[in-house]
Amino acid sequence: MTHRIDIDPKPKHQNNREPLFTVHYQGKELAKSTEPFYASCRALLAMGLIGYVEMYGPGLRFSGDIEKSAKLSIKTPDLKPRAYKAFGEGKEKADD
């Protein structure tokens, strides 16, 4: 099954930190995070939902498998964002 999540078009900035995005699922707030897609996948998985997720916003469409994406996080070494395993030993770089 495919689940749709929607990201607010304007992130909130707090104390010179990375932008904080709010994501909604079925009209209710699902997650607030600097990593909105992966945080939303973790929240959906915690709700017992599996399958595919599509995130929409103004000019944005991002999709992936909920279970696989829930295990990922974003790191920005050398200002080049990359997906990494969020949990587990070593937090190794994720396979593409």
- Domain count across the chain: 1
| Domain membership flag for residue 16 | yes
| Domain membership flag for residue 21 | yes
| Domain membership flag for residue 92 | no
| Containing structural domain, residue 51 | 2-87
| Domain membership flag for residue 96 | no
| Domain membership flag for residue 77 | yes
Q: Which residue do the tokens 């707030």 mark?
A: 29
Q: Which residue do the tokens 């469409």 mark?
A: 61
| Domain membership flag for residue 94 | no
What's the Cα-to-Cα distance from 51 to each of 62, 76, 85, 86, 91, rounded to whole Å? 14, 28, 19, 19, 24
What's the Cα-to-Cα distance from 5 to each of 19, 41, 53, 62, 96, rounded to whole Å? 18, 10, 7, 10, 23
* Residues shown for the chain: 96
Per-residue pLDDT of the chain (96 residues; tens, 9 = 90+): 999 999 998 888 776 677 889 999 999 999 999 889 999 999 999 999 999 999 999 888 999 999 999 999 876 656 555 566 665 544 444 444
| Domain membership flag for residue 93 | no
Q: Running DSSP on this structure, what letter comes out for residue 55?
A: E
| Domain membership flag for residue 95 | no
Q: What is the pTM of this model?
A: 0.78
